[in-house]
Amino acid sequence: MLILLDQITKFFLTTTVNTGAAFSIFTGQRFFLIAISLLVILFILKYYKKKEYQLSLTFILAGTIGNLIDRIFLGHVRDFIDIKFWPVFNVADSLIVIGALYLGYKMWKKSHS
The yes-or-no answer on residue 70 being catalytic is no
**Catalytic option among 6, 70, 79, 82:** 79
Q: Which class for 111: exposed (0-12), middle (13-18), buried (19 or more C-beta within 10 A)?
A: exposed
**Catalytic option among 6, 70, 82, 93:** 93
Helix 2-13 vs helix 91-111: crossing angle, to nearest 10: 140
Catalytic center residues: 79, 93
